[in-house]
């Protein structure tokens, strides 16, 4: 959580910093259109500090109009969850596609974003049930933990995401971003006699159909073409 607050404030500060640029009267500012590609820093960092996790995500967006961006993520996760009664490993690849709507009124030549968006995500994965414990309330004969190793292949799930986030230009064409996501499970192919407790890209599942996630992205903007915008005088 500390990391999250730190990077959030970092992004906010950079937004503030950019806001300090001097005003000028009626100038033409070109709006740049292009492709932005990057990676999720959180997944990379987690792969280092969390023993049972390996993950990678590539993020990208393409500016369609003044406010709309075609956006998507593609990634791979391998996570072992060690719960009280279950220990399992989920491996798989996911793909998300959708759009972002930038609500931030940029001054001058700034290109920051405060956005909301939607994604449709699909994930294909497999699970290995490493071990499980029988729940016997009397516990008369002692705890019975079974080493299973059962594999469940060919699982898949799809979901809708509501995305909210910010992106700020740190240096020339280099962007730092943070987004949070509320997920709604649309389809979920469950294994026989087990459940999808973790879905790559979707994260942990709960009893209902909702889930949540977030990412911190570091991305690079590749300008493709420009359109002019006129800003009116501001004091």
Partner 1 sequence: MKKIVFITLSLLLAVSFWNCEKDDICAEGTPVTPRLIIEFYDAANPTVLKSVTNLGVIEPTFTEGFGFTGVNKIQVPLRTTADITTLNFIQNGSDTDTANDNIDAITFNYERINEYVSRACGYKTLFYLNDINPIELTADGNNWIQNIEVIQPNIETENEVHVKIYF
**Where does this chain bind partner 1 (CB under 8 A)?**
1, 4, 83-86, 101, 103, 114-116, 132-138, 140-141, 144, 146, 162-165, 180-182, 193-195, 197, 203-204, 212-214
Q: How far apart are the first and last CA of the chain?
A: 39
Are 202 and 235 within 8 A, CB to CB? no
Please tell me the distance from the alpha carbon of residue 176 to that of residue 219, in angstroms, as a whole number: 6
How far apart are CB 25 and partner 1 at their closest, in Å? Answer: 26
Are 58 and 231 within 8 A, CB to CB? no
How far apart are CB 206 and partner 1 at their closest, in Å? Answer: 9
How far apart are CB 146 and partner 1 at their closest, in Å? Answer: 7
Q: Whose Cβ is closer to partner 1: residue 37's or residue 197's?
A: 197
Are 34 and 221 within 8 A, CB to CB? yes
How far apart are CB 132 and partner 1 at their closest, in Å? Answer: 5
How far apart are CB 26 and partner 1 at their closest, in Å? Answer: 25
Please tell me the distance from the alpha carbon of residue 75 to that of residue 95, in angstroms, as a whole number: 7
Q: Whose Cβ is closer to partner 1: residue 37's or residue 110's?
A: 110
Q: Whose Cβ is closer to partner 1: residue 126's or residue 133's?
A: 133
Are 175 and 168 within 8 A, CB to CB? yes
Q: Whose Cβ is closer to partner 1: residue 35's or residue 214's?
A: 214
Are 38 and 56 within 8 A, CB to CB? no
Q: Whose Cβ is closer to partner 1: residue 1's or residue 28's?
A: 1
Cα separations in angstroms, 102 against 113, 128, 159, 206, 231: 6, 41, 23, 30, 17
């Amino acid at each position: 959580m500390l990391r999250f607050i730190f990077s959030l404030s970092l992004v906010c500060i950079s937004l503030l910093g950019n806001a300090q640029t001097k005003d000028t009267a009626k100038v033409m500012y070109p709006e740049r259109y292009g492709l932005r590609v990057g990676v999720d820093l959180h997944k990379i960092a987690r792969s280092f500090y969390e023993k049972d996790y390996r993950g990678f995500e590539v993020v990208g967006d393409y500016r369609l109009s003044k406010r709309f961006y075609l956006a998507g993520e593609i990634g791979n996760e391998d996570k072992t969850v060690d719960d009280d009664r279950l220990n399992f490993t989920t491996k798989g690849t996911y793909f998300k596609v959708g759009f972002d709507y930038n609500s931030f009124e940029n001054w001058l030549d700034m290109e920051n974003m405060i956005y909301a968006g939607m994604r449709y995500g699909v994930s294909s994965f497999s699970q290995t049930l490493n071990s499980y414990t029988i729940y016997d309330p009397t516990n008369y004969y002692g705890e019975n933990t079974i080493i299973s190793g059962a594999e469940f292949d060919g699982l898949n799930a799809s979901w809708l995401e509501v995305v909210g986030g910010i992106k700020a230009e740190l240096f020339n064409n280099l962007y730092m971003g943070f987004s949070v996501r509320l997920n709604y499970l649309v389809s979920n192919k469950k294994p026989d006699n087990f459940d999808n407790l973790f879905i790559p890209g979707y994260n942990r599942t709960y009893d209902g159909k909702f889930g949540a996630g977030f990412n911190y992205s570091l991305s690079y903007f590749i300008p493709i073409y420009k359109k002019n915008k006129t800003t009116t005088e501001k004091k």
